[in-house]
Amino acid sequence: MADVMNVGVNLEAFSQAINAIQALRSSVTRVFDSLKDGMKNKETLEGREKAFITEFQDNLQSVNRDLNELERLSTLVGRPSESHPLHNSGLLSLDPVQDKTPLYSQLLQAYKWSNKLQYHAGLASSLLNQQSLKRSANQMGTSAKRRPKVQPSTLALPTQYVDDVISRIGRMFPDMSIELFRPNGTSAVLLVTLGKVLKAIVVMRSLFIDRTIVRGYHENVYSEDGKLDIWSKSNYQAFQKVTDHATTALLHYQLPQMPDVVVRSFMTWLRSYIKLFQTPCQRCGKYLQEGLPPTWRDFRTLEAFHDTCRQ
């Protein structure tokens, strides 16, 4: 192995280069020591400054001289022809035009990447095996103990608490009126009137919003029997778009531990439609696109966008 490493290397120049590196480090150290010590004690200020400048110049010249010597020796050391990890493909590194065709460096990078991928895949496999269900065909036929089925549970809140949350939200937005109905006992249905722009029917289970239907301000929201119509869509495409976006907002605002925050966030988002026909799109700057206003509202900034401009 030593013979392989010695091929193409000038050992004498290599030894001299090591000594040159040590000399360069010593000269650089002297430069910083002189800067650290500053001007030494002399009889006059002019004498101190002159002695400091002279010593500093001598140290810099020593650094320059040692650096030139190291550069000269580095050209005499040569290049070792060590054994390559990629076997015969390592001969590509001997290509004199490696800068133009860096095949060997790319192969080394791919080799390292594949090793790292294999290592992480092994770790992932071990972790997944620890979390496996460990089921087999034999266990399926046996009368082994099974985990009891978890019964679904719903968060049932007092109706008075729900009414208080809705009333507080109504006081937060003076330009939004909220009427609360309970057609089926405990479940609440909200009729939200936003200025003279739209009306929204919000169907709730306790404090969890189940669905939302948005219609125009002048559209009828009641069925023939006098109850709120929670199924029929709006006759206008713009409010149909707003209904679709409201359904998306219900999926975005999800925080089961704090349902009151979810309702308040959704109502804040719904209130951003107060100027549905007066706010231009934040991307294209137009009020109408294909005959429709910007019906999308960003969930975080509440900025208005057309349905095609938001992507």
Q: Which amino acid is at 137?
A: A
Closest CA to 32 of 61, 60, 72, 73: 60
240 assigned to some structural domain: yes
Is residue 172 domain-shared with residue 283, that is, in the same domain? yes
Same domain, 71 and 199: no
Does the residue 215 lie in any domain?
Answer: yes
Q: Which two tokens mark 193?
A: 């009137």
Q: How many residues does the chain have?
A: 311
Write down the pLDDT at residue 131: 59
pLDDT per residue as tens digits for the range 192-221: 999 999 999 999 988 889 999 999 999 999
**Does residue 2 register a pLDDT over 50?**
no
Question: Based on the domain organization, do 182 and 299 belong to the same domain?
Answer: yes
Same domain, 190 and 286: yes
Residues 171 and 286 in one domain: yes
- Pair 176, 286 in one domain: yes
Is 82 or 303 the better-scoring residue by pLDDT? 303
Task: Classify residue 71: in a domain, yes or no.
Answer: yes
* pLDDT at position 4: 39
Assigned domain for 184 exists: yes
Residue 177 lies in a domain: yes
- Do 164 and 295 belong to one domain? yes
Query: Does some domain include residue 85?
Result: no
175 shares its domain with 286: yes
Total structural domains within the chain: 2
Domain membership flag for residue 138: no
Residue 104 is assigned to a structural domain of this protein? no
For residue 205, what are the domain limits? 159-305
Residues 66 and 177 in one domain: no
Can you give the three-state secondary structure of 236-292, one letter per residue?
CHHHHHHHHHHHHHHHHCCCCCCHHHHHHHHHHHHHHHHHCCCCCCCCCCCCCECCE
Q: What is the pLDDT of residues 16-59, one digit of tens each?
A: 888 889 998 998 998 888 888 777 666 667 777 888 888 888 88
